[in-house]
Structure 1
């Protein structure tokens, strides 16, 4: 056998070069998220978005879940179950527990959870995306509600608009929230936050007012019926675009930067 060849000393910093030295995972993920939101907002299916972005539909769904615009019964169950286990378990164990409880594979559970904060993008960027995503969610919900003012679409819109500022007929600001019961499900009661006092508004009252809408312009709250809390319902319906109001009322409700029908 011939002589052994002397090994060449490796240069400092040597080794396999990156195939794509300019590749930035965080920037790439952020661009995919933004593109996915725009396409989803145009009511494209997950498969169509995946085809347009050359991605897997499951990744598209995960991107939309991370941004906060994708909703489904399964996604909600996975999120709630995982968050409950996460209070006492580490990330990986919580995934396994969620998988066992919901009888889903580990991969399925992971696909329904958002990307972890700070893994691919800084929190400031995530916050910017979330704010835009929330606006998109409201826009889509209101658009569906105006096209088909059903109880289901109204409930979806009311949930999304929690803690958003509204104004009453006289121009007084208020917001509301819907609390969850022991089962983890939302109760059908809106808690109105007006200054120091909180008042409850029954969902049945909101539905009653919805059925009482007659004509496009509703001149005063009582025109929606003699309903407890109707002054708040009036402000909500105007913001949702379910009713229009007289010009002098608009002036009061739009004062100080309040923009109607957004």
Structure 2
């Protein structure tokens, strides 16, 4: 559960920000860059806020609203597609948001629901296990920032990522355990990764991955990512709340 998550509040904050920037005559792309969204979602936000108008948007909304009087939302979208010869994404992109905004993978966990966060983790792990490589390992690291991991002894920890000048995550994990924070270099993670014998094999202790700084944390990451398995007694410690 994430009691701090509020889809309505997040949507309103994004709408307000997009509307202000749009009134300052910023382009869709520029607003998208500021809000870490794509231009189509920015347009949808502006439509929801009631500050964006175009002939196409007006036609789609009028057609949809008329059909919506007698049809379900999904059916009205389908009928609008047929009437205007548009694709489903095109139709929905000109309709206001009803529930909330779907955030990109780079969005902070606090901005998405618990369900969306679980799906993000699931997708990242599936991709990594299907195609184990450095690129997909990094995507997994990005997806799991803020997740509560456990070390072999059961001690909890999380990590955060920082962004550099190009607004991209720098490849350094900042481990937060209790009151201490320390950095874990991406090169250390890769060194341990290349020391894995076979994906999914049991690794009885962190040092088996190498004499690497921060390997106790890497051990916890790799187990959760599905890269390694651990002994049953270790699983019990990691599973305890």
Normalising by structure 2, report the TM-score.
Answer: 0.60
Q: Aligned-pair distance for 1:151?
A: 0.5
Stretches of structure 2 that go unaligned for 5 or more consecutive residues are: 1-9, 50-95, 104-109
Match of 2:98 among 102, 108, 121: 121
2:29 aligns with 98
Residue 92 of structure 1: how far off its partner (Å): 4.4
**2:39 maps to which of 107, 110, 125:** 110
Provide the C-alpha distance between the structure 1 equivalents of 2:127 and 2:171, rounded to a whole number of angstroms.
21
Residue matched to 2:126? 143
CA drift of 1:184 comes to 1.6
Q: 1:148 to 1:199 in 2, by over 3 A?
A: same
Q: Given the superposition, is the C-alpha separation of residues 111 and 120 from structure 1 closer, same or farther in structure 2, using an over 3 Å criterion?
A: closer
Gapped regions of structure 1 (runs ≥ 5): 1-65, 68-82, 103-108, 257-262
CA distance in 2, matches of 1:236, 1:214: 16
Q: CA–CA distance in 1 between the matches of 2:25 and 2:115?
A: 29
- Counterpart of 1:224 in structure 2 is 209
TM superposition score normalised by structure 1 = 0.55
2:155 to 172, 176, 193: 172
Deviation sequence 1:122-142 (CA, Å, 0-9, x none): 56xx99974322221211110
**Matches of 1:143 and 1:152, distance apart in 2:** 14
Distance of 2:164 and 2:133 partners within structure 1:
24
Change (3 A) 1:195 1:145: same
Distance 2:40 2:99 in 1: 21
- 1:189 Cα deviation from its structure 2 partner: 0.4
Structure 1 residues 100 and 223: alpha-carbon distance in aligned structure 2, compared to 1, 3 A threshold: closer
Mapping of residues 1-262 of structure 1, within 5 Å = 89-93=20-24, 95-96=26-27, 98=29, 110-113=39-42, 115-116=44-45, 120-121=97-98, 130-215=113-198, 216-256=201-241
1:234 Cα deviation from its structure 2 partner: 0.2
What's the offset of the Cα at 1:220?
Answer: 0.1
> For 1:149 and 1:198, how far apart are their aligned partners in 2?
29
Q: CA distance change for structure 1 residues 90 and 206 in 2, over 3 Å: closer, same or farther?
A: same
SS in 1 for 2:184: strand
